[in-house]
Amino acid sequence: MTAADIQVPGGIKKSKWKVIVVHHSAAPNATPQGMHRYHRDIRKWANGLGYHFVIGNGVKYPDGKLYVGPRWRSQLTGAHCAARAGRYLGVRRPSNYFNEHGIGICLIGNFETAQPTPKQMETLRDLICVLSRHASVDASQVFGHGEVTHRTACPGRNLNMPGLRRIVLAAIQNPSGGAAKQAAAK
């Protein structure tokens, strides 16, 4: 994956994005297109797919393949992490902060019962590194959906968020990959 994969017409609105919120689809056979239809037709969200990015697991969408959603291309607010105004992660946040300022990334799969694939984790790490550089989101501001709201197990117990943050930070500090591989082994 390269930065060209996530560029948008008119550029990335750097001042808009403050956090990254990681999700799982909770269904191993999901597709970005199916999630879009569900969000548009059943949830009645005007812009459809609530996430900015989706990463495939190889079941019905290629393993590790990055889908760039229309919300990202248009730099639209997400619909992936509703939260009332309050104190989150030690900081007072206004209502809907994590949708308005959070980049939503969904990995296809149910990580309560299965592990993310190595390719999914590689794509996720690389995507977060690119977003950190180009959207100015600090690696320390990457959270799992449940870490934010405490109302869901998303992204599942088998997606280690502290480990992901370590891997991303190592990859940012050493773009050649050596540190990222060492952090992944810990």
Check residue 64 and give its pLDDT.
95
The arithmetic mean of pLDDT across residues 169-176, rounded, is: 86
22 and 105 Cβ atoms separated by less than 8 Å: yes
Question: What domains can be seen in the chain, in order of their start residue?
Answer: 19-185 (3.40.80.10)
Q: What pTM does this model have?
A: 0.91
Check residue 131 and give its pLDDT.
93
Check residue 5 and give its pLDDT.
59
Residue in the block written with tokens 């009332």? 84
Check residue 11 and give its pLDDT.
81
Give the pLDDT band of residue 184 (cuts 50, 70, 90): very low
Give the separation between CA 68 and CA 5, rounded to whole angstroms.
8
**Angle, CA 128 vertex, CA 180 and CA 105 arms, to 5°:** 130
68 and 5 Cβ atoms separated by less than 8 Å: yes
Residue, of 163 and 176, whose pLDDT is higher: 163
Mean pLDDT of the chain: 89
The yes-or-no verdict on residue 16 having pLDDT over 80 is yes
Residues 6+ away with beta carbon under 8 Å from 6: 12, 53, 68, 72, 127, 130, 131, 134
Query: Six-digit token pair at 117?
Result: 């694939």
